[in-house]
Amino acid sequence: MQITVKIKRFDPEADTRPRWVEYQLDVDPTERVLDVINHIKWELDGSLAFRRSCAHGICGSDAMLINGVNRLACKVLVQDLGNRITVEPIRGLEVKKDLIVDMEPFFDSYRAVLPYFINDEPPPPTERLQSPEERAVFDETTKCILCAACTTSCPVFWTNGSYVGPASIVNAHRFIFDSRDRGTLERLEVLNQSNGLWRCRTAYNCTEACPRDIPVTQAIEEVRRAMLFRG
Amino acid sequence: MYRGREGQWAFVLHRVTGVAVALFLLLHVIDISLVMFGPEGPFEAFLVFYHNWPFRIGLIMVIAAVVYHGLNGLRIILMDFTTWGVRYQKHMWYGVLGLTTIIGIPVLLKVVPEILRGA
Ligand code: FES
């Protein structure tokens, strides 16, 4: 299958602004976009820069804006896109080179919501037991791989880079609704600030973009209600 | 342009109609307040001026904007305060568009003939 791939490239040492570069190549329809850009890097243009690691949708390093939507390059097949493919870096984060963006602001917001288990009570002699029902409450939000596809699809985040963003709220949700955790008040404190979860305008781009099918907007609304109705 | 789906367009329309209605309100406050210069003054002149067809079309759009913004506001309230609202947000958005159109029909029936008649 003959395809044309248009990539938005940027070399900080040579370019003042990003430029589009087109590549023609012959690929199998069942190949993934990641395979395609690997072909380009290995056979056509070794200077192309992008991140990838696992190649199986679990490390979260290759979120890209593919044909106008955020996806993992390793999870989308050429046959589902047709013979014209455009690839851009995800939006709202500074482009370092080609498809590589500076993820630090994203991880800063992630760290800000204390995404780890907090409980100062003395450990019980056995495990901290949790019923299957209690576990089910936050099951979806345990699936996040921190690829940033959601946060960088959010119109609010594009215009305000200090918005904490859907990914952080999802990870706060994962612990706020964990029956064993005791850090809820501290996390809600962080999320209640002016760049916190009230910034969400329910555009649902995050929910559509999540490669793990996490109901992101639903999680945001659940945390909001927890904030409103906490005792 | 990011290829978002229903939710993104619901949000964009909500913002655009919100700003449009706010600007209209500002204009409205200004022209109504001109009545303090007497009934025959600039207030009357504005009323006549507003009868030009571009403003008639503007009137249709302002009504549509108010109706959309109000109904979509209800959709947002349901998403915020019920456990099921988010799941049905697309259905509710199509409902909002449908209702806005239905409510717009009598407006069109009244205003469009007036424009054509040049009234
Ligand atoms: S390369 Fe690991 S998620 Fe795609």
What are the DSSP E strand ranges found in A14-83? 19-26, 63-66, 69-72
Q: What is the pTM of this model?
A: 0.93
Distance from CA of A201 to the nearest CA of B (A): 7
pLDDT in tens, A162-193: 999 999 999 999 999 999 999 999 999 999 99
Question: A201 vs B11: CB contact, 8 Å cut-off?
Answer: yes
Mean pLDDT of A127-131: 94
On whether any CB of chain B is under 8 Å from the CB of A160, the answer is: no
* Number of Cα atoms under 13 Å in the Cβ half of residue A141: 25
Find the residues whose C-beta lies inside 6 A of ligand 1: A 52-55, 57-62, 72, 74
Could you please state the CATH topology (level 3) that the domain comprising A2-101 is classified under: Ubiquitin-like (UB roll) (3.10.20)
End-to-end Cα distance, chain A: 60
pLDDT in tens, B20-39: 999 999 999 998 999 888 87
* Tokens at B21, concatenated: 């209605």
- Asked if A170 and A113 touch (Cβ cutoff 8 Å), the reply is no
CA dist., res. A100 & res. B56, Å (int): 51
On whether any CB of chain B is under 8 Å from the CB of A152, the answer is: no
* Best residue of A65, A202, A216 to probe chain B, by most B CBs closer than 10 Å: A202
Which residue in the set B3, B4, B80 is minimally distant from A203, CB to CB? B4
Chain centroid to Cα B111, Å, comes to 15
CA dist., res. A153 & res. B34, Å (int): 46
* Tokens at A117, concatenated: 């288990």
Q: What is the ipTM of this complex?
A: 0.91
Q: Is A37 helix (H, G, I), strand (E, B) or coil?
A: helix
CA dist., res. A152 & res. A64, Å (int): 9
- Asked if B60 and B111 touch (Cβ cutoff 8 Å), the reply is yes
Q: Which residues of B touch A67 (CB under 8 A)?
A: 3
- Asked if A6 and A20 touch (Cβ cutoff 8 Å), the reply is yes
Amino acid symbol at A22 = E
Buried b (16+ CB within 10 A) or exposed e, B79-118: bbeeeebbeebeebbeebbeebeebbeeeeeebeeebeee
The residues, any chain, with a CB within 8 Å of residue A157's CB and separated by 6 or more, are A92, A151, A163, A165
Residue A20's pLDDT band (cuts 50, 70, 90): very high
Using a pLDDT cut of 70, give the percent of chain A over it. Answer: 100
Which residue in the set A68, A208, A221 is minimally distant from B86, CB to CB? A221
Calculate the average pLDDT of chain B: 94
Calculate the average pLDDT of chain A: 97
Distance from CA of A67 to the nearest CA of B (A): 8
CATH code reported for the domain at A104-229 = 1.10.1060.10
* pLDDT at residue A231 in the model: 55
Whether pLDDT at A143 is above 60 = yes
Mutate which of A37, A50, A70, A72 for ligand 1? The one with the most ligand atoms within 8 Å of its CB, which is A72
CA dist., res. A77 & res. A3, Å (int): 13
B81-100 residues touching A, CB cutoff 8 A? 81, 85-87, 89
CA dist., res. A142 & res. A121, Å (int): 23
- Asked if A86 and A66 touch (Cβ cutoff 8 Å), the reply is yes
- CA dihedral in degrees (B45, B47, B50, B51; nearest 10)? -100
Question: A155 vs B85: CB contact, 8 Å cut-off?
Answer: no
Phi, psi values for residue A32, rounded to 5°: -95, 165
* DSSP assigned state of A157: H
Q: Which domains does chain B have, with CATH numbers?
A: 6-118 (1.20.1300.10)
* Tokens at A157, concatenated: 């985040």
